[in-house]
Amino acid sequence: MNKLKAVLFDLDGTIINTEPIHAKAILDAFKYFNIVLDETKFQDDFLGASDYDVWTAILKDNPSKIKFKDLIEIKNKNFLAFLTESTAVSINRLLTSGVVDFIQRLVHQNIKLGLVTASDLVQTTAVLKKIGFEQYFNVICTATDTFFSKPKTSPYFYTMRQLRVKTHEVVIFEDSYFGLSAAMQTGAKVIGLATNAKEKVNKKFQHIKFIGDFKDVICQNFV
Sites in the chain below the pLDDT cut of 50: 1, 220, 223
Whole-number Å distance between alpha carbons of 51 and 63: 17
Domain 6-16+96-222 has CATH 3.40.50.1000: yes
Residue 20 DSSP SS3: helix
At residue 223, the pLDDT reads 46
Asked whether 96 and 46 are in contact (CB, 8 A), the reply is no
For 151, list phi and psi in degrees, rounded to 5: -90, 10
End-to-end CA distance of the chain: 7
Query: Domain coordinates of the chain in residue numbers?
Result: 6-16+96-222, 19-89
Euclidean distance between CA atoms 220 and 45, whole angstroms: 35
* Architecture of the 19-89 domain: Orthogonal Bundle (1.10)
* Dihedral of alpha carbons 206, 115, 5, 14, sign: negative
**pLDDT given at position 1:** 44
pLDDT tens profile 104-149: 999 999 999 999 999 999 999 999 999 999 999 999 999 999 999 9
Residue pair 116/141 in contact by the 8 Å Cβ criterion: yes
